[in-house]
Chains A and B, each alone.
Chain A
Amino acid sequence: MQTLSAVMSQLVGSLIDLNHPGRYVHWGFIQLSVANLIVIGAMVVVFVAAILIPFRRHGGNDQ
């Protein structure tokens, strides 16, 4: 478990360097961390995908 954890942290750490203070964006009085902005963007993408992607159906007699 510890070996796997070490490998995973090395792997993820090499992709995304989190060893620094958080980065923030500012729009007037709005201050938002980049991490939160990414999550919000992902939610918007998933929301749009949930509307557009057809739902898998059996039988095929759509009504």
Chain B
Amino acid sequence: MSIDTGPPAEAVIESPVADPIETPDEAAADRPEDAGQWSARLRHSAVGALPPERLMPDRQPAYVASWIYVFGVLTLSALAVVILTGIALSVMGPQWWHVSSTGLFVNSLHLWSVEVFFFTMIIHLWGKFFMAAWRGKRRATWITGVVSFVVSVGAAFTGYLSQQNFDAQWISTQAKDGINSTGAGAIFNVTNFGQMLMWHIVLLPLVVVALVGLHVLLVRLRGVVPPFAPPDQTDVVGPDPGPLSADPSSGHSTTPSVAANGERP
């Protein structure tokens, strides 16, 4: 990016209008001479790939009207509760979650939302596995989901190690031999409470949230995978952006659509 005093403000506003013939790159920047900057190119490609109406669509393809498609967003909801209760626990501290009735309640919410998170994530995984959800250039979506699952297991594991009770001690002493046998014990010491707590409340949540965010963006980019076609029909597996608006003349797709609340046109 460059910094200069530039022309007066009104000239900057009028600049895109003044040039009637613009290439896509030039349209990405306020001024044509800025089109080559990485920030303009990144913004242009990001908005082109994920326009707001695709990020938060009003309608979905009709095949999404099945309970099996609900478990992804249930997993996201459980993750939101995990994060929020985890923030509350971090703010208030161990004395609160071990002693006060409210702290014990939030501590339990944190545990049970993790149980719901894994419960719904496994059903989401089964559903997507039997749909072969990696079809139609959705490999990256599948892989980010798999890696999110593995990292989530690590996040839960370090959480159980951070309970500060006999259960945590038992788990750590049972796990240390397994971790040490891989060689990872040199830098990942499951009997080191401080290290495990930091992994649990800082490093792994950051990775999980980043991966889940990327996973959701890829779902919006590639569309929701359709089910397999009946034997007498051709399987359509290509990226289906789905109807992106309530306007049937928008021409985004010929797929029958259903509104976000399940309502059909």
Contacts and interface: CB of A to CB of B under 8 A. Distances in A.
Interface residues of A, number: 21
Interface of B: 62, 65-68, 70-71, 101-102, 105, 119, 122-123, 126-127, 256, 258-259, 261-265
Contacts of A56: 262
B2 to A, nearest CB: 53
B263 A58 contact: yes
Interface string A42-56: 110011011101011
A56 to B, nearest CB: 6
Given A43-B119, A50-B127, A53-B67, A63 B256 contact: yes
A23 interface: no
Given A5-B101, A58-B262, A63-B62, A47 B127 contact: yes
Contacts of A61: 264
A55 B263 contact: no
Given A50-B127, A51-B68, A43 B122 contact: yes
A57 interface: yes
Nearest to B102: A1
Given A39-B119, A43-B123, A63-B62, A50 B67 contact: yes
